[in-house]
């Protein structure tokens, strides 16, 4: 009787999931090279799995290697045209490159595939805001809030939209709602939610300074 050990399908699948989790952990720590190395292993073993190209594209994007990211997103979508997360990620690439119309088209596709894709709703709202389409951006954030996820992010981005639109009352209300949802600064600075909290605090300080200047400039001493 042979004593050799053969991996079952379940064993292989579990190992793959461990590699993906490890790669994501490395990316979260900023070690993009290590994350890509791990994802390369997965792609070499399973060259037709869209998820691994999508994940590697995301790591490339986070590491500033934008063209490599686009190549991987395109490959993922060729392998799985129904992968909403790949459309969302590719849209983020387009937005980063200033190709906002292309970004909107991919966010639309992600939402068509998964109407509850909250990140696509948020990202489309941000892109509409960048296009100056504030009312449509607010509508996207309102719908995103109904999904019950990432409320801190949504309040922050809706508040920023009101800020740019000139509705400072709604803006301040949303900024404070965001601060009740986003994590405190004592947690990991690599957490996007922590960075967003710092950004909200900066926006609030900018708004406070603008209001002080506005009211101060309009006041005259009595008597």
**Number of domains observed in the structure of the chain:** 1
Would residue 179 count as lying in a domain? Answer: yes
Which contiguous run of DSSP H or E holds residue 153? helix 151-165
Reading the block at residue 98, the tokens are 């200033």
Q: What share of the chain is helix, strand, coil (3-state, %, to 5)?
A: 75, 0, 25
Would residue 155 count as lying in a domain? Answer: yes
Would residue 168 count as lying in a domain? Answer: yes
Closest CA to 55 of 88, 11, 9: 88
Would residue 117 count as lying in a domain? Answer: no
Q: Is 54 left (phi over 0), alpha (psi -120 to 50) or beta?
A: alpha
Would residue 39 count as lying in a domain? Answer: no
Stretch 206-212: mean pLDDT, rounded? 76
In contact, 88 and 96? CB cutoff 8 Å: no
Would residue 165 count as lying in a domain? Answer: yes
Reading the block at residue 179, the tokens are 């601060």
**Average pLDDT over the chain, rounded to an integer:** 87
Alpha carbons 69 and 159: distance in angstroms, whole number = 30
Would residue 78 count as lying in a domain? Answer: no
DSSP at 83: -
Q: What is the pLDDT of residue 6?
A: 43
Alpha carbons 155 and 160: distance in angstroms, whole number = 8
Four-residue CA torsion sign, 144, 148, 153, 156:
positive
Identify the band that residue 38 occupies on the pLDDT scale cut at 50, 70 and 90. Answer: confident
Would residue 205 count as lying in a domain? Answer: yes
Q: What is the pLDDT of residue 188?
A: 62
Q: Mind listing the pLDDT tens digit for each residue in 150-186?
A: 999 999 999 999 999 999 999 999 999 999 999 987 6
Query: Could you tell me the residue range of the domain that residue 187 belongs to?
Result: 150-217
59-to-9, 30, 206 alpha-carbon distances in Å = 27, 9, 33
Q: Mind listing the pLDDT tens digit for each residue in 40-86?
A: 889 998 899 999 999 999 999 999 999 999 999 999 999 999 999 99
């Amino acid at each position: 009787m042979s004593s050799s050990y053969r991996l079952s399908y379940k064993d292989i699948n579990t190992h793959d999931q461990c590699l993906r989790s490890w790669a994501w952990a490395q990316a979260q720590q900023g070690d993009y090279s290590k994350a890509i190395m791990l994802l390369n292993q997965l792609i070499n073993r399973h060259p037709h799995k869209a998820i691994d190209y999508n994940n590697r594209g995301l790591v490339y994007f986070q590491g500033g290697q934008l063209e490599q990211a686009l190549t991987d997103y395109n490959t993922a979508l060729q392998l799985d045209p129904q992968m909403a997360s790949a459309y969302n990620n590719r849209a983020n690439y387009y937005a980063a490159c200033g190709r906002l119309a292309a970004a909107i088209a991919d966010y639309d596709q992600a939402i068509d595939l998964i109407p509850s894709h909250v990140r696509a709703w948020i990202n489309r709202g941000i892109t509409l805001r960048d296009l100056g389409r504030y009312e449509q951006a607010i509508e996207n954030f309102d719908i995103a809030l109904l999904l019950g996820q990432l409320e801190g992010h949504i309040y922050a981005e809706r508040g920023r939209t009101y800020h740019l639109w000139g509705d400072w009352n709604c803006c301040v209300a949303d900024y404070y709602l965001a601060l009740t949802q986003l994590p405190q600064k004592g947690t990991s600075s690599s957490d996007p939610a922590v960075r967003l909290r710092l950004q909200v605090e900066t926006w609030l300080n900018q708004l406070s300074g603008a209001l002080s200047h506005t009211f101060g400039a309009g006041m005259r001493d009595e008597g």
